[in-house]
Chain A
Amino acid sequence: MRAASGIQRYGLRFVALGYLAALLMVPVTIVLFRTFEDGLGPPLEAIASPDGQHAFWLTLVCVGIAVPLNTIFGVTAALVLVRHEFRGKAILNTIVDLPFAISPVVIGLALLLVYGRNGWVGQDLIDAGIQVIFSTPGMVLATIFVSLPFVVRETMPVLQEIGDEQEQAASTLGASGWQTFWRITLPSIRWGVAYGIVLATARALGEYGAVSVVAGRISGQTETLPLFVENEFTNFNLAGAYAAAIVLALLALAVLLGMNLLKRKEREA
């Protein structure tokens, strides 16, 4: 028996695909079309402009610092939360999820209130010659904040699933903590970790709200690609906005492909 007759099935399929087309596929196609409407020239020019170039590199710097740090933190936190029992574990577990529950603007405000001129430590840092807000460190901090939970959340279930028998065996046979980790634990959790890294990278690349609050949006100085998109758009430079958007969309597509690949690897493993 089929759960639905032919007509019902086609009806549901039609509604579902129609909804997805109206919300996702058609808008994305139109942006692609509009970007290359006048040929490759205008979008390439916008991307190659000094501000566009700078935005691209600054985005890479933020991602390049935030994602590795969150990966180290994520794997350690997952090990601590899965393999250990201690008081306050539930609280720690909840705090890890907080960045998911907080508006990006609130995250930006939070950093402003700590590191800004009138913030808790802002003036002291400025006196020491370190500018955090309206500068790269603040943007990196915002990126770390928003991409923090991904590696932890993707690694924890895998750790739970593999159990700790092999680790205990290695331990009993005299392996040190590091040896056990590198030879036993990491190889078995690597696809979960990789999946978390991919998600964290996607979020870090595209973060707009939190970064925009702490960046002050100085073109060519504190502008990442998402901020560049917004700036070009408000300055009526649609070609530039679409071009940068396409770069980000292509990166998003690469992320999607990566996710699919890793899911398959995880299933095979």
Chain B
Amino acid sequence: MAANDATVAAPPRVGIRLPVGGAALSRGAVTLWLTVIVLIPLAAVVEHSLQDGIGEFWEAIAEPEAIAAIRLTLVSSLIVVAINATMGTLIAWVLVRDEFRGKSIVNSLIDLPFALPTIVAGLTLLALYGPKSPIGANVAYTKVAIVLALLFVTLPFVVRAVQPVLIEVDREMEEAAASLGASRARIFRSILIPNLTPAIVAGCALAFARAIGEYGSLVLITGNIPFDTQVASVYIFGRIESDAPASAAAVSVFLLVLSVAVLFALDLVVKWSRRHARG
């Protein structure tokens, strides 16, 4: 459908004439690039997962090893999202409302998990929480390691979503509440939390989508033990290696649908909160 849109003539509209010989051409080029790079490969995954019929598709997902991997992925992602919602908000609060030396350095460090390659993230966590842990906290090859790695790679999402909102929140509202005798807990509950909720939800949704697909940071640290520490992405990788692409594709489609659904829901939340804020 998107491909057809490219051929629709540009509506006569006053505005910048795009380079590359006009609007229709650049629109077509963009659509073509997205189709070749993103859509065709994804279509191949969907096609492959369904090539032996919908029955085989469900069977591939219902395989005990797949079920265990999917369940572990969902549970650890939800735990990670819950921790992020709390710690991310708290860190954002400290970075916005608190003053201390070195704050700007700490602020830049928040982006480190986005900049650091995931495999290095895994290696890094292993240095402190692995077999050679200097503090004797060896959690390598356990479920705790999965949560740790996911916490590492998803750290920036909630912090970076909440920070700008916290800066914008009207301090006068809080001050008025305080002068009217509201306790700090009450101010937090009745003023800060309602204002921050859309941002926290947005950050959590992004973190969740990232967590259920995460692979690189988990490779070294989880040991990939089936029925124990094998997450969905690692399971898919194993299926590819053992030349079972149809089963890999089925679990892939499941993950794909889930993360797209989460991001779609996020879009609705963002639109809703914008309308809410305006009204």
Binding site for B on A (CB under 8 A): 1, 3-5, 8-9, 12-13, 15-17, 19-20, 22-28, 30-31, 34, 73, 76-77, 79-80, 83-89, 91-92, 95-114, 118-120, 141, 144-145, 148, 164, 167-168, 171, 176-178, 180-182, 185, 199, 202, 205-209, 212-213, 225-227, 229-230, 233, 241-242, 245, 248-249, 252-253, 255-256, 259-260
Query: Are A177 and B215 in contact (CB-based, < 8 A)?
Result: no
Q: Identify A252's interface contact among B4, B41, B112, B234, CB under 8 A.
A: B112
Known: A27-B124, A73-B33, A76-B18. 14 other contacts (CB 8 A): A22-B128, A27-B128, A31-B120, A79-B16, A88-B2, A102-B255, A102-B256, A104-B233, A106-B256, A176-B17, A207-B216, A209-B233, A227-B119, A259-B108
Residues of B within 8 A of A205 (CB): 117
Query: Are B16 and A248 in contact (CB-based, < 8 A)?
Result: no
Q: Of all chain A residues, which has the CB nearest B251?
A: A106
The 10 closest A-B pairs by CB, nearest first: A206-B117, A103-B213, A110-B41, A88-B5, A208-B216, A177-B17, A209-B215, A113-B44, A252-B115, A167-B16
Cα A241 to Cα B277 in complex, Å, equals 50
Residues of B within 8 A of A113 (CB): 41, 44-45, 47-48, 245, 249
Query: Are A177 and B16 in contact (CB-based, < 8 A)?
Result: yes
- Interface size band for B: 35 or more
From known contacts A86-B27, A92-B34, A181-B18, infer whether A103 and B125 are also in contact, taking CB-CB under 8 Å. no
Q: Of all chain B residues, which has the CB nearest A59?
A: B117
Q: Of all chain A residues, which has the CB nearest B125?
A: A27
Q: Of all chain B residues, which has the CB nearest A107?
A: B41
**Contact flags B147-175 to A (C-beta < 8 A → 1, else 0):** 01001100100000000000000010011
Q: Smallest distance from the beta carbon of B187 to chain A beta carbons, Å? A: 8
Q: Of all chain A residues, which has the CB nearest B73?
A: A103
Cα A185 to Cα B26 in complex, Å, equals 16
Which stretch from B56-64, B94-102, B138-146, B193-201 is at the chain A interface?
Answer: B94-102
Query: Are B259 and A145 in contact (CB-based, < 8 A)?
Result: no
Q: Identify B30's interface contact among A77, A141, A182, A248, CB under 8 A.
A: A77
A–B pairs, 21, beta carbons within 8 Å: A3-B184, A13-B100, A24-B155, A26-B128, A79-B18, A84-B23, A91-B5, A95-B34, A102-B256, A108-B240, A109-B236, A111-B41, A114-B40, A145-B37, A164-B16, A168-B14, A229-B123, A248-B117, A249-B120, A252-B115, A256-B108
Q: Of all chain B residues, which has the CB nearest A14?
A: B94
Q: Of all chain A residues, which has the CB nearest B259?
A: A101
Q: Smallest distance from the beta carbon of A207 to chain B beta carbons, Å? A: 8
From known contacts A24-B155, A208-B219, A248-B117, infer whether A17 and B106 are also in contact, taking CB-CB under 8 Å. yes
Cα A217 to Cα B54 in complex, Å, equals 33
Residues of B within 8 A of A230 (CB): 119, 219-220
